[in-house]
Amino acid sequence: MAISVLSSAERVRQASGWSMIWGLALVVFGMLAISSPGIAAVAVSVFISWMIVFAGVVHLVLAFHAHRTKAMIWKALIGVAYIGFGIYLLSHPLLSVASLTLLLATLFLVEGVLDIMVWWKLRGAEGANWVLMDAIVTLVLGGLIYAHWPSSSMWAIGTLVGVSMIMSGLSRIGLSFTSRRVKRQSGTAAFAKAA
């Protein structure tokens, strides 16, 4: 009995350790994004544009594996549209950043609402307030983007993504510490019963 409790505690410690490392990485990358918001905005825009081009290539590859002519033509047209749109965004980075800023605002608002729903289900659990704090900050950031769009697109996307990454990293670290503490307390109680 004691051995299974210890191995279970060790698994929680390892999982929370990786979670803490990921949380620390989010905090570091968030600080980098805040320190160079224009570069971060263009980097995010270029990354997403390349992902759209890649999705277009995948559609084209799938089109040539389609067995029906109508399916092949349709998938090929979708692939060409994706590739064309991705190349257009790559060649117009400022337009891409403004569009992504508006999309980011929507994403933050949706994420904030979903985080509140998660908090509502976890509200009795220890550490649930970290989720609520992350939700509130994310909703405020989404509102700020909408309030200043499009004039603040060059600094907003990098800064707000950075702040969101820092908050997500801190909440992940906080939940990991809470998880370790709760598991340690329950492991100690189970070990005492087994002894």
pLDDT in tens, 142-173: 888 888 887 777 777 788 778 888 988 888 88
Say what the pLDDT of residue 2 is.
46
34, two tokens: 């805040």
The one-letter amino acid at 56: G
For tokens 């509140």, the residue is 116
Q: Residue 92: left (phi > 0), alpha (psi -120 to 50), or beta?
A: beta
Say what the pLDDT of residue 135 is.
87
Q: For residue 60, give the nearest of 79, 73, 33, 77 by alpha carbon.
A: 79
* pTM: predicted TM-score of the whole model, two decimal places: 0.56
Q: For residue 111, give the nearest of 156, 158, 145 by alpha carbon.
A: 145
pLDDT in tens, 26-83: 899 889 888 888 888 888 888 888 999 999 998 888 888 766 776 678 888 888 998 9
Q: Residue 127: left (phi > 0), alpha (psi -120 to 50), or beta?
A: left
pLDDT class for 128, splitting at 50, 70, 90?
A: confident
Separation of alpha carbons 145 and 159, rounded Å? 10
* Segments of the chain assigned E as strands: none
- Residue 117's CB is within 10 A of a number of other CB atoms, namely 12
Separation of alpha carbons 44 and 109, rounded Å? 19
